Amino acid sequence: MTDQAPVAESDTPDIPGKPTSASRTTLSHIMTHNDTNLLGTVHGGVIMKLVDDAAGAVAGRHSGGPAVTASMDEMAFLEPVRVGDLVHVKAQVNWTGRTSMEVGVRVLAERWNESTPPTQVGSAYLVFAAVDADGKPRPVPPVLPETEKDKRRYQEAQIRRTHRLARRRAIMELREKRAAEGLDD
C-alpha cells in the first residue's frame, strides 16, 4: 500500500475534497424503559434510528447540505442493549461517489453508572444521496481518507458498492426475464 490516500471517484473535480475527520461524529443517548421491546432489551428499531440519525448528520456535514438515506446494509446487532446503557453511535464517511456517500457506523454501549470501557454492540453501512432544495441529486465533495483505517474502510466500501450494483443488476435482469416469460409478479 502506498502512502497516498485513495483518490475518490468523482465527476466533480472542481469540488475540493474533505478529510474523513471533517464530518466524523458521535451521537450518545441513554436508553430508558421507553426504548424496550417485549424481551425487556432495547428495541432494534431504536438503535437503527440512532444509526440513521448519526449517519445523516455525517452525510449532511460532508456534503454541505441535505442528504437522504438511500439504503442500509449489513446492520449487525452484536450484543443486546439494556435499559440504563449509554449508547454511543460513531459515524464517518467511508467513500463518496458523484452524488452519494457510504457512511460507516459503529454502535457502542456502556453502563451509565460504571467506568468500564464501552462494548461494541452493533455496526452498519448506509448509503446517502445528497439532494438540493428540489430533492434532486447534487454533487458531493470527494472524501480524503487520512489514516490507514480510513484507507481500509474506503477500499472495503468500494467492494460493497460493487456488490450492491451487481446485485441490483442481477435482480433487474431476473425481473426482465420473468416479465418476458409472462411471469409478472
Distances 114 to 88, 109, 111, 118, 121 between C-alpha atoms, Å: 15, 11, 5, 10, 17
- Per-residue DSSP letter, 126: E
Which range (8-12, 83-87, 94-98, 145-149) has the least confidence? 8-12
Q: What is the pLDDT of residue 6?
A: 44
Q: How far apart are CA 49 and CA 129, in angstroms?
A: 18
Confidence of residue 12 (pLDDT cuts 50, 70, 90): low
- Residue 26: Cβ within 10 Å count: 14
Interval 79-94 mean pLDDT? 97
Q: How far apart are CA 160 and CA 122, in angstroms?
A: 18
Nearest to 47 by CA among 72, 11, 25: 72
Residue 28 has pLDDT above 80, yes or no: yes
SS3 letters across 89-125? EEEEEEEECCCEEEEEEEEEEEECCCCCCCEEEEEEE
Interval 43-50 mean pLDDT? 97
Q: How far apart are CA 44 and CA 17, in angstroms?
A: 35
User: pTM, whole model, 2 decimals?
Assistant: 0.87
